[in-house]
Structure 1
Amino acid sequence: MAKKLTATVVGGGVSGMTAALILARFGHEVTLVERSPVLGLTVRGFSRDGVYFDTGLHRTGGLGENGPFTQYLKFLGLGDLPVVWYEEDAFETVRFGNQGRDIALPVGYEATKQRLHSLFPDEKQGIDAYLDAVRRVYNSAPFIHEATDIRAAFAEEDAYDTFEGFVNSRVRDPILRAVFSAYSMLLGYSPKEVSFLQHARVMASAIDSAATFAGGGAALADGFARRLEEAGVRIITGNGVSRVNFSSGGSIEGVTLDSGDMFDADTVIYTGHPYYLLNIVHDGVFAPVFTRYLRTPAETPSAYMLFGVSDKPLFPNNGCNLFYCRDTDFSSVFSPAHNPLEGPFHITTRPGTGLPRGKRMIEAAGEGYAVTAIMAGSFASYLRWKDTRSGERGPRYAEFKAEKLDEFREALYVACPETASVRFLDGATPLTFRDYTHSPSGSVYGRKHTLMQHNPQPATRVPGLWLAGQSIVAPGVLGAVISAFLTCGFIVGAEELHAELNR
């Protein structure tokens, strides 16, 4: 009788939970290990005064009837999660403060084309060229549609110019350029740095559909946890992996946990931040150049967040979400000299007491709205507390945090007077992000994906040791899911996985 394949997945975030379910479906005996007390910590959100706030999942694309996220969820046994849709006519508004102009964006390619044609009639050719290219890239991306050559996910990265170069060669109007550039916030890096290819993968998902889950990120995390138990995955929380164990020949043998417990494994998938991978392998496993490469990445920015409640929708005529941009120069936003209090800001609103299935976002609110605002922030201001734990930082940190959040609140009101109706209840700093995202500098999206930085690929030089997560392929929840499918495609076979996915 053949020995059953064994696998340990390190990290119980979205990518780790996805990978565990895939491997279990293909016959592996899977152990999922998460150092935090619960699975899916970053996306679970929290409640204050009876109001639920999302943290790592505010909205997502790809949830249309035949959308890629929908297909992934069905494959994983999560196709029954109730979905709530943002307003189709204006799910997002981009506001340019210095120009005094709001651009409301609809859902869908054709609706977006028509809206932008009406607002920028002299730019029809450039609009069509941009949107057609976004759709073409999206439709050919591995594990988004029918493409099965997983090597192409990495080899094609240099196929296009920078995003800024691509758009500027086709569009002249600075406001229209800035509308497209606003989604750099969803990537965490400058339009000068990112390839058009990487931008298109994220932008296309945003255009395709705009939705969230009725129970927010907590519903997604709970759904994953339920399916993992049903699939027979051994789940270990509150106990991290301290060491990956190797045979004398250099192959994977298993893992040792913080508790001292040991588990055999033929395969280990590490889904945490690549920086910390070196903490769980012994010296000499990787070449010195790769070790330096893991230790010195260019990171996406960290952030500040505010959480509040309002008894009325903030933007009743412009949808539920707002990008505030002081002006049209997005490249300067990512300069170290930029003052984050000048924006950009992103504000999301959603009903705070649940989202009934089948309801549109604005229809669903019965007793007020949960309001979340986010702006970029630097971890450098928090270095004095880098070795501290949450709840043990003392009054000086509490005072500093309150001061920074007050500054954010005041800047937000100046930029968006609609926030005067919001009663703010809590907030987060870059140190909070460090604690919850487990990235060394509190980066929102992990490592940057730029033309100048090639991130680790799923396969390492160690047989049986694999990588997944948003630092590997793409940012966000959908990026984390896609990464798990790509990595598992190497392990179980890309064609076999695609056949199951498309069955």
Structure 2
Amino acid sequence: MNGTVVIIGGGMGGLFTGALLARNGYRVTVLEQNAAVGGGLQTFVRSGERFETGMHMLGGFRPGGSVRRICHYLGILDQLKIRPTDDDCMDSLHYLAEGERFAIPCGRERFAESFAARFPAEADGVRRYVEALYRLSDEVGMFRLREAQGSIFSHSEEFLLPADELIARYVADPRLRDILAYMNPMYGGVARHTPAYIHALVNVLYIDGEDRFVDGSSQLAEALAGVIRANGGEVATRARVRHLACTERTIRYAETEEGRRYAADRYIAAIHPCTLLRMLDAAALPRAYRSRLEQIPNSYSAFTVYLKLKENRFPYINHTCYCQRAHGMAWQLGTYDELWPRGIMYMTPPVSGQGPFSRKMIITAPMPFDAVRRWEGTFTGRRGPDYEAWKEEQAGRVLALMERIRPGFREAVEAVHASSPLTIRDYYGTKEGAMYGFRKDAQQIALSQVPIATKIGNLLLTGQNINLHGICGVPLTAVNTAEALLGTNRLIHAINTKYETDHGNLCK
């Protein structure tokens, strides 16, 4: 055995990091505050249907993809039920005011040509823009699980441009600029602030192929927890850590609310760094370090409506649907005012034996935490009647927009449930219910970069606040964190070697 590790937080970051370390000889203990592990991979049941909380669309699972390689290395691919979206329409985009609709195909060439055909005057610019997306993504070696070369890499001038400025470099038509920013809800984009490389990585991830879990995302959480347990580790639920005892910049033990103490050689925090600060005494970290973490702005949150649909009333849609009220709102989706929601993203999650009709729908509308700040001192189930009335009103606004998108839609709805930024904050333990953790800012990029190592010698970080968020970014950060203990390039080399060897054997 290489030693012992306690991981605080059983979300996707904690589980991937724990599984990778367990696979390499560490005895891992994961402490999760909720009744189920998974974080954004969690599912819940309402009105007899199972709903996903956050991980609705998958990238990186196609042959050769980074997440597929990691899951293959961990031996869990055969435990995952995954369905590809339609190649000729991985996403649809609808502008209500203009009545415009776009069916967006996957694949680098098809993606570019679809927009070039709709906007022939911008055809050359569109192709060069897509080339730029792939060029920027290739600057991030980890995105393709490339081994580090040991030298400092200087990024191109476009890498840290604001994403909206990157698009404007190649495209003159303001309508097309708005369209090319349609994936904004997948990274919480803010004009003049979100870096071009974030925009590029997220777009390339899904252009390369978008998939979905069949029967919910919790299957990935369960598979990862299984790897940890199979290698002698423990995954404990309802184990909320209240205190990390630290002396001389070394964690001595983690103590849960029940008073149980967990000691280990190393500790990894897979939670929002500002949540971590509350578990440590003030003297455990330098004041400047604490202050810097508290100052980093967070990405916006979301209001989500979960619908049980009547039997045989609404078609199953094998792609993700984006809708905006009108052109020019792509960078304002996180604004909460009388026009909210300016746009929504909706999908019909697949289930085993999927027929032509859907049993459920999930609708997500970006929302800032300020919309619920008046109730920030409350907790789930104890927020009061005024909050419940407000939540019902917001769900009504979302459904009214859906009725405009698909007239007669309400007749297909059997039951309505909803969650707000407060729900995300309380269940994920993330500051201000931020969907994507800390917001990366092109204007002050140094502030928004949080390293894996901390000022405490045996404490590391992992999760969506480090490097990149989402189904690809979090597993890749887990590889980075695990390599901080295993050695640079050792894990990446092992992941790639196993995939390429086994893939070659399968092809013979």
Task: Provide TM-score, normalisation by structure 2.
Answer: 0.89
SS in 2 for 1:499: helix
Q: CA deviation at 1:192?
A: 2.0
**Closer/same/farther in 2, CA of residues 335 and 231 from structure 1, 3 Å limit:** closer
Pick aligned residue for 2:395 from 405, 424, 442: 405
Pick aligned residue for 2:466 from 469, 472, 481: 472
Task: Identify the residue that residue 72 of structure 1 maps to in structure 2.
Answer: 70
Query: Is the 2:23–2:231 Cα contact (8 Å) retained in structure 1?
Result: yes
Query: Is the 2:296–2:438 Cα contact (8 Å) retained in structure 1?
Result: yes
Q: CA deviation at 1:421?
A: 4.6
**What letter matches 1:88 in structure 2?**
D
Deviation per residue, 1:74-123 (Å, 9 max, x gap): 12221111211111111211112222211110111122122122212222
Q: Return the alpha-carbon distance in structure 1 between the equivalents of residues 347 and 151 of structure 2.
A: 35
Q: CA deviation at 1:458?
A: 0.8
**Closer/same/farther in 2, CA of residues 217 and 266 from structure 1, 3 Å limit:** same
Query: Is the 2:108–2:130 Cα contact (8 Å) retained in structure 1?
Result: yes
**Closer/same/farther in 2, CA of residues 62 and 418 from structure 1, 3 Å limit:** farther
Task: Identify the residue that residue 205 of structure 1 maps to in structure 2.
Answer: 205
Query: Is the 1:253–1:264 Cα contact (8 Å) retained in structure 2?
Result: yes
Task: Identify the residue that residue 488 of structure 1 maps to in structure 2.
Answer: 482
Task: Identify the residue that residue 504 of structure 2 maps to in structure 1.
Answer: none
Task: Identify the residue that residue 364 of structure 2 maps to in structure 1.
Answer: 374
Q: Return the alpha-carbon distance in structure 2 between the equivalents of residues 33 and 243 of structure 1.
A: 12
Task: Identify the residue that residue 417 of structure 1 maps to in structure 2.
Answer: 407
Task: Identify the residue that residue 236 of structure 2 maps to in structure 1.
Answer: 236
Deviation per residue, 1:279-327 (Å, 9 max, x gap): 12221232222212222331111211111144568678x8532111223
Q: Return the alpha-carbon distance in structure 2 between the equivalents of residues 482 and 148 of structure 1.
A: 12
Q: Return the alpha-carbon distance in structure 2 between the equivalents of residues 407 and 71 of structure 1.
A: 42
Query: Is the 1:10–1:270 Cα contact (8 Å) retained in structure 2?
Result: yes
Query: Is the 1:191–1:330 Cα contact (8 Å) retained in structure 2?
Result: no
Aligned-residue Cα RMSD (Å) equals: 2.5
Pick aligned residue for 2:21 from 23, 39, 53: 23
**What letter matches 1:383 in structure 2?**
R
Q: Return the alpha-carbon distance in structure 2 between the equivalents of residues 146 and 405 of structure 1.
A: 41
Residue 457 of structure 1 pairs with residue 451 of structure 2: yes
Q: Please, which moves more after superposition, 252-261 or 162-171?
A: 252-261
Residue 32 of structure 1 pairs with residue 41 of structure 2: no
Q: CA deviation at 1:4?
A: 4.3
Residue 355 of structure 1 pairs with residue 349 of structure 2: no
**Closer/same/farther in 2, CA of residues 335 and 434 from structure 1, 3 Å limit:** closer
SS in 2 for 1:417: coil
**Unaligned ranges ≥5, structure 1:** 357-363
Q: Please, which moves more after superposition, 119-128 or 46-55?
A: 46-55
Q: Return the alpha-carbon distance in structure 1 between the equivalents of residues 495 and 331 of structure 2.
A: 42
Residue 448 of structure 1 pairs with residue 439 of structure 2: yes
Q: Return the alpha-carbon distance in structure 1 between the equivalents of residues 495 and 164 of structure 2.
A: 35
**What letter matches 2:389 in structure 1?**
E
Q: Return the alpha-carbon distance in structure 2 between the equivalents of residues 418 and 62 of structure 1.
A: 36
Q: Return the alpha-carbon distance in structure 1 between the equivalents of residues 154 and 270 of structure 2.
A: 22
Q: Return the alpha-carbon distance in structure 1 between the equivalents of residues 53 and 9 of structure 2.
A: 18
Deviation per residue, 1:248-267 (Å, 9 max, x gap): x4333332222222222221
**Closer/same/farther in 2, CA of residues 487 and 152 from structure 1, 3 Å limit:** farther
Query: Is the 1:42–1:436 Cα contact (8 Å) retained in structure 2?
Result: no
Q: Please, which moves more after superposition, 478-487 or 413-422?
A: 413-422
SS in 1 for 2:390: helix
Total equivalences in the alignment: 490
Q: Return the alpha-carbon distance in structure 2 between the equivalents of residues 152 and 207 of structure 1.
A: 30
**What letter matches 2:49 in structure 1?**
V
Task: Identify the residue that residue 46 of structure 2 maps to in structure 1.
Answer: 48
Alignment of structure 1 residues 323-402 onto 2, 5 Å: 323-330=322-329, 333=332, 336=335, 339=338, 341-351=340-350, 354-356=351-353, 364-365=354-355, 368-402=358-392
Q: Return the alpha-carbon distance in structure 2 between the equivalents of residues 456 and 39 of structure 1.
A: 24
Query: Is the 1:8–1:33 Cα contact (8 Å) retained in structure 2?
Result: yes
Alignment of structure 1 residues 33-432 onto 2, 5 Å: 33-80=31-78, 81-149=80-148, 156=155, 159-247=159-247, 249-310=248-309, 311=311, 320-330=319-329, 333=332, 336=335, 339=338, 341-351=340-350, 354-356=351-353, 364-365=354-355, 368-417=358-407, 419-423=409-413, 424-432=415-423
Q: Return the alpha-carbon distance in structure 1 between the equivalents of residues 352 and 185 of structure 2.
A: 26
Task: Identify the residue that residue 361 of structure 1 maps to in structure 2.
Answer: none
Q: CA deviation at 1:334?
A: 5.3
What's the % identity of the aligned pairs?
22
Q: Return the alpha-carbon distance in structure 1 between the equivalents of residues 313 and 120 of structure 2.
A: 31
Q: Return the alpha-carbon distance in structure 2 between the equivalents of residues 335 and 393 of structure 1.
A: 23
Q: Return the alpha-carbon distance in structure 1 between the equivalents of residues 312 and 172 of structure 2.
A: 38
Pick aligned residue for 1:9 from 7, 21, 24: 7
Q: Please, which moves more after superposition, 257-266 or 334-343?
A: 334-343
Q: Return the alpha-carbon distance in structure 2 between the equivalents of residues 313 and 322 of structure 1.
A: 18
**What letter matches 1:307 in structure 2?**
Y
SS in 1 for 2:452: coil
**Unaligned ranges ≥5, structure 2:** 498-508
